[in-house]
């Protein structure tokens, strides 16, 4: 889009954005260059690893030493597993005593996403309230607002980030634990990317730290007058990555070696602050981001490559609202169609809320243009839960998906019709008041005494 400041600002431009959004009439070559970012390759082969990039954690430790901040550290009790990032840096992933930072989009659109994760933790013997906590005292990261509307600002993003991670830091108090007992595990890829950027801004800018300290001080979210910054920003897919072999060996019940899978890697997980993304020499030769692919490999599924692997899903935040047909056509033409024709995939697997929602909920529109491409879309944690025997309705909640999952479930050896029949009986029990809980709802409640000095 181009701009023209002299135009009547009350007039309508393209997609209702206002007169300053006008067609640029780009040539084919110019349009290709302008949108090449969606096919950007971020991997070990295309990045100049010799180029010096600061590790923001080095500056973080200095700020802690100077008494500027408190670092929420990953301790031995969190049972961390060491991984390597794109630049070969160490990144420790905690595997227990985790505080679940939920996703607004998952809970609203794909509820089987978080329930599959909690189910896997339960199956691994992790005890709610001791080994993990899923409480209500948290908010959206607000990155949706920032990316989708452009009316957010860095101060608000930083204040929300610090407020939520302060809660993670103090969350063990009402359960009899000290500060830092539970470590935050971020469910959403957008939150993950946003928080990594915000942490970088906070560490680099004394001015930003002072601004948000005033905000947090008013709401009781400082510790000894200091802000709390986590040692690592950890995404659930990273937890799944380091736990994959244990999940496969201890929990897997279904043979998925005949299932053809494709992976969609989320931009906000591996293109945003790419130096933080996990790369593993045993996964795709260490050249591509390891999460999700590594889980499918551990479970024994076939992982099939396709030419648009690097492409964005088409979500894009703002144009999913105002130029939705671009999003829909992009996700069909550049992802679903290609994965179906080239890989002949049974399922596409991802690790981000927006990506799963976009590719899952928009396939129907293709029929209007005689592009009847359809494919099951789900998160890696949902696929893993299915392979470990989770109920496709009660736990994985595939009935919430718009993409067709019946054939995939049947191919995995699970009777869709029987599972549906049992689920309908279960719903009658729920209606009668016999509720079955995956997680003790009392643990989700936060004591009014928890917030404040610790």
> Which residues sit opposite 189 in a β-bridge?
none
DSSP label of 343:
I
Query: 18 pLDDT band (50/70/90 cuts)?
Result: low
Question: What is the average pLDDT across 376-401?
Answer: 97
User: Across-strand partners of 230?
Assistant: 72
Of 416, 407, 292, 273, the residue nearest 349 (C-alpha) = 292
What is the C-alpha separation between 299 and 102, in angstroms, rounded?
A: 25
The answer to whether the beta carbons of residues 313 and 359 sit under 8 Å apart is yes
Per-residue model confidence as pLDDT tens digits over 312-321 = 888 876 666 6
DSSP 8-state class, residue 126: P
Residue 323 or residue 41, greater confidence = 41
Residue of 2 and 325 predicted with greater confidence: 325
Element (H, E) at 227: strand 227-230
pLDDT of 319: 67
H or E stretch at 297: helix 293-299
CA-CA distance, 38 to 354, in Å (whole number)? Answer: 15
**pLDDT of 105-123, one tens digit each?**
677 788 999 999 999 999 9
Angle between helices 112-123 and 380-387 (to 10 degrees): 50
Q: Where are the alpha helices (DSSP H) in 43-188?
A: 56-65, 104-109, 112-123, 143-149, 154-170
For residue 366, is pLDDT > 90?
no
Domains and CATH numbers, the chain: 56-236 (1.20.1050.140), 254-429 (3.40.50.11810)
Q: Output the pLDDT for position 117.
A: 97
d(CA 103, CA 236): 11
Q: What mean pLDDT do residues 364-388 have?
A: 89
**Average pLDDT for 146-166:** 84
Give all strands of the β-sheet with 183-186 in edge-to-edge order. Answer: 132-133, 98-101, 183-186
What is the distance between the alpha carbons of residues 100 and 78, in angstroms, rounded to a whole number? 14
Per-residue pLDDT band at 7 (split at 50, 70, 90): very low
pLDDT at residue 452 in the model: 44
pLDDT at residue number 131: 96
Lowest mean pLDDT among 74-83, 142-151, 429-438: 142-151
């Amino acid at each position: 889009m181009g701009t023209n400041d002299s135009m009547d600002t009350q007039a309508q431009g393209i997609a209702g954005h206002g007169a300053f959004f006008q067609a640029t009439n780009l040539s084919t070559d110019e349009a290709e260059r302008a949108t090449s970012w969606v096919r950007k390759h971020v991997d070990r082969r295309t990045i100049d690893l010799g180029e010096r990039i600061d590790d923001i954690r080095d500056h973080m430790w200095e700020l802690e030493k100077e008494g500027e901040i408190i670092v929420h550290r990953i301790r031995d009790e969190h049972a961390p597993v060491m991984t390597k990032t794109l630049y070969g840096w160490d990144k420790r992933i905690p595997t227990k005593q985790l505080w679940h930072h939920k996703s607004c989009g998952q809970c609203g659109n794909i509820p089987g996403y978080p329930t599959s994760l909690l189910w896997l933790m339960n199956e691994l013997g992790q005890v709610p309230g001791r080994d993990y906590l899923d409480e209500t005292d948290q908010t959206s990261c607000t990155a949706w607002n920032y990316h989708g509307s452009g009316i957010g600002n860095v101060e608000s993003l930083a204040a929300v980030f610090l407020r939520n991670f302060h809660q993670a830091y103090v969350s063990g108090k009402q359960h009899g634990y000290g500060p830092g007992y539970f470590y935050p595990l971020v469910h959403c890829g957008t939150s993950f990317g946003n928080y990594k950027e915000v942490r970088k801004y906070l560490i680099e800018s004394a001015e930003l730290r002072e601004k948000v300290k005033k905000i947090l001080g008013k709401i009781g979210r400082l510790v000894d007058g200091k802000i709390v910054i986590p040692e690592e920003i950890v995404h659930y897919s990273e937890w799944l990555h380091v736990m994959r072999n244990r999940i496969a060996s201890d929990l897997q019940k279904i043979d998925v070696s005949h299932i053809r899978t494709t992976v969609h890697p989320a931009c906000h997980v591996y293109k945003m602050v790419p130096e933080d993304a996990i790369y593993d020499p045993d996964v795709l030769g260490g050249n591509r981001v390891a999460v999700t692919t590594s889980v499918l490999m551990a479970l024994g599924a076939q992982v099939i490559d396709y030419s648009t692997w690097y492409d964005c899903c088409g979500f894009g935040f703002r144009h999913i609202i105002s130029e939705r047909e671009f999003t829909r056509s992009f996700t069909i033409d550049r992802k679903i169609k290609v994965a179906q024709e080239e890989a002949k995939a049974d399922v596409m697997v991802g690790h981000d809320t927006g990506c799963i929602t976009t590719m899952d909920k928009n396939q129907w529109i293709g029929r209007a243009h005689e592009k009847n491409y359809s494919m099951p879309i789900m998160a890696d944690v949902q696929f893993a839960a299915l392979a470990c025997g989770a109920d496709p309705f009660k736990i994985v909640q595939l009935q919430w998906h718009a993409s067709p999952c019946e054939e995939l479930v049947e191919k995995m050896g699970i009777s869709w019709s029987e599972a549906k029949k049992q689920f309908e009986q279960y719903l009658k029990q729920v209606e009668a008041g016999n509720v079955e809980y995956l997680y003790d709802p009392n643990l989700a409640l936060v004591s009014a005494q928890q917030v404040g000095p610790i």
